[in-house]
Amino acid sequence: MTPKRKIYIETYGCQMNFSDSEIVGSLVLGSGYETTANLGEADVILINTCSIRDHAEKRVRQRLREFSALKKKRPGMIIGVLGCMAERLKDQLLKEEPSVDMIIGPDAYRDIPDLIAAVEGGQKAVNVMLSLEETYADIQPVRLGTNGVTAFLSIMRGCENYCAYCVVPFTRGKERSRDPESILREAGDLFQKGYREVTLLGQNVNSYTWNADDLTVNFARLIARVAGVDPSLRVRFATSHPRDLSDELIRVIASTPNICRSVHLPVQSGSNRILGLMNRKYTREWYMNRIEALRAHIPDCSISTDIIAGFCSETEEDHRETLSLMRWAAFDYTFMFKYSERPGTLAASKLPDDVPDPVKSRRLEEVIQLQQTLSLESNQKDIGKIVEVLAEGRSRRSEHHLFGRSSQNKVVVFPAGDIHPGEYLRVKITACTPATLMGEVLPAERPG
């Protein structure tokens, strides 16, 4: 038998990209290839890319140079660029990166085997056509680099919010939702294979809507059905848009124990003026109302966010409003970035990137320092509490400890003992850092 050709997939960016790479892995396996985690034995290298910030694209460019050097030693190797950079830069990448053979957009993954064949026939291959229908609902993803406990489950694709700073609507196209039955089948299959947590993914996950046969399923109803697969299956979701965080969804989370008490709700700025320029379609007051609703109905819910420092024309007063909102909300953790202008976005065409980089950096540092304080205060409140933790794997700092996460998505480290990943444990929190909780397993409280 002829040995199967090996495909190495490397992924950058958001959780959706990692989910997409698992779809790609399934599609190439079905076409006679096999995936490998060993770059040195790869016949085909596929790099799944992110365009959300300039830094992300620079990392990919550097990696392509490294792949190019490897290709010179191994003639016949094929290099393909997937995802958002492929969609945004298209033919430009072929001109600027001579080692690249294929450019494949997020909706063209089914064509990868044919595109590889075209390259083997001596051509460069490009497919960046966006689709109004493609959801890959029929594809059973191959779980790449999995811990066997947690998995991502993509429920929709695309985005139509057109936030001024964001390339996603242009690189991933219109919103379209998967058939809920296909989502439930995938969740059930994951549970049967031993997975105990799924994260429902979408660029704007809580705008999920399925209409067919006089049946409408919104996100609140979908997540309730996924949680109904089994009480031992934890369910998370990412990422929410504040405008679409409905009271119905909050009530479903509050009434369903295995939907995790953790909501990621990107605010981006605390200034109404900046939110307007960003085209976020909500105000500071609306956002605060959503936080109050979460706190009222789910008192133990952790809330995380995204913040951009130094957006176009941001003043010191705008920045102070962001800091004041952070203090008011007492976010448990935050993803923080300084503004990076992306070509083709609404901001790039209409708003000057006029905040000096040193000012952006200083404001970002102030956001980071404040969040360090808030995260530490949040974790200190957990000392002495007993929390349920799903064990995920070995701690990176000690082979004698495991780590897992609480329902609030906080990382908990504890002695390994005879515990195995996938077990639910009750852990008493004894210490903390701003990023991590440490604790002791209560053996008598461990469920069978």
Going residue by residue through the chain, which has 448 residues, state the pLDDT in tens, using 9 for 90 and above. Answer: 556 889 999 999 988 999 999 999 999 987 888 999 999 999 999 999 998 888 889 999 999 999 999 999 988 899 999 999 999 998 889 899 999 999 999 999 999 999 999 999 999 999 999 998 899 988 888 887 778 999 999 999 999 999 999 999 999 999 999 999 999 999 999 999 999 999 999 999 999 999 987 889 999 999 999 999 999 999 999 989 999 999 999 999 999 999 999 999 999 999 999 999 999 999 999 999 999 999 999 999 999 999 999 999 999 999 999 999 999 999 999 999 999 999 999 999 999 999 999 999 999 999 999 999 999 999 999 999 999 999 999 998 888 999 999 999 999 999 999 999 999 999 999 999 999 999 999 975 544 4
CB within 8 A of 83, min separation 6: which ones?
Answer: 13, 17, 20, 48, 49, 50, 104, 105, 106, 171
Beta bridge partner(s), residue 439: 429
Q: What CATH number belongs to 150-380?
A: 3.80.30.20
Residue range(s) occupied by CATH 2.40.50.140 in the chain: 386-445
Residue range(s) occupied by CATH 3.80.30.20 in the chain: 150-380
Instruction: Kindly report the backbone phi and psi dihedral angles of residue 339, in degrees, each rounded to the nearest multiple of 5, phi listed first.
Output: -60, 130
Q: How far is the C-alpha of 368 from the C-alpha of 337, rounded, in Å?
A: 9
Residue range(s) occupied by CATH 3.40.50.12160 in the chain: 6-127
Contact 225, 261 (CB under 8 A): no
Q: How far is the C-alpha of 429 from the C-alpha of 248, rounded, in Å?
A: 32
Q: What CATH number belongs to 6-127?
A: 3.40.50.12160
Q: How far is the C-alpha of 396 from the C-alpha of 412, rounded, in Å?
A: 12
Q: What is the pTM of this model?
A: 0.91
Question: Virtual CA dihedral for 442, 443, 446, 448, nearest 10 degrees?
Answer: 180
Instruction: Kindly report the backbone phi and psi dihedral angles of residue 434, in degrees, each rounded to the nearest multiple of 5, phi listed first.
Output: -60, -25
CB within 8 A of 283, min separation 6: which ones?
Answer: 272, 275
Q: What CATH number belongs to 386-445?
A: 2.40.50.140
CA distances from 243 to 181, 236, 436 (A): 26, 19, 30
Q: HSE on the CB side for 353, CA within 13 Å?
A: 16
